[in-house]
Amino acid sequence: MQLYIVRHGIAIDREDPKCPPEAERYLTPEGIARTKEVAKAIAAMGVHADLMISSPYVRATQTAAIFAKALEYSEQKIRHAGSLLPGAEPGAFLREMARERNASSVFCFGHAPHVDGLLTAAVGAARHITSLKKAGVACIELKRLSPPNGQLIWLIAPKVVRKMK
């Protein structure tokens, strides 16, 4: 299974007086633009999605919708999972994926530091090996889900996408 771990794009700052409750924080115009750039770059690589799963928080759901459009995946098919919420135990999501026998290419959308922990768990590392930037994407080839045995294939930060233009 190819697992694409995506951190949500730039969201409204918690300190902004207009900031809604945590679950309702949304992408800023800059966050939308940068996320679209990354999603288009991923699509240009020929990547496809059999399954997309997002944290139910607004900013992650918006990020998933942007990727769905770029990858020609139906936005209505995006699932939501509590195992991608901030503070969730990273292994819980991988255990859920073990039941997805028909999906060979899965995108998940979440929050830091949870996505970093998920990446760490997927490759079997003892501690965090990276910190995904907002709208960053990591591709993990999972040879086994339980216990996880994966290899980091690539990681793309939005800054890299902008420099490639």
What is the value of pTM for the model shown?
A: 0.95
* Calpha distance 10→31 (Å, rounded): 4
Give the tens place of pLDDT for each residue, 139-149. Answer: 999 988 778 88
At 42-67, the pLDDT tens digits run 999 999 999 999 999 999 999 999 99
Question: Could you tell me the domains of the chain?
Answer: 2-164 (3.40.50.1240)
Beta strands in the chain (DSSP E): 2-7, 51-54, 79-80, 105-110, 137-145, 148-156
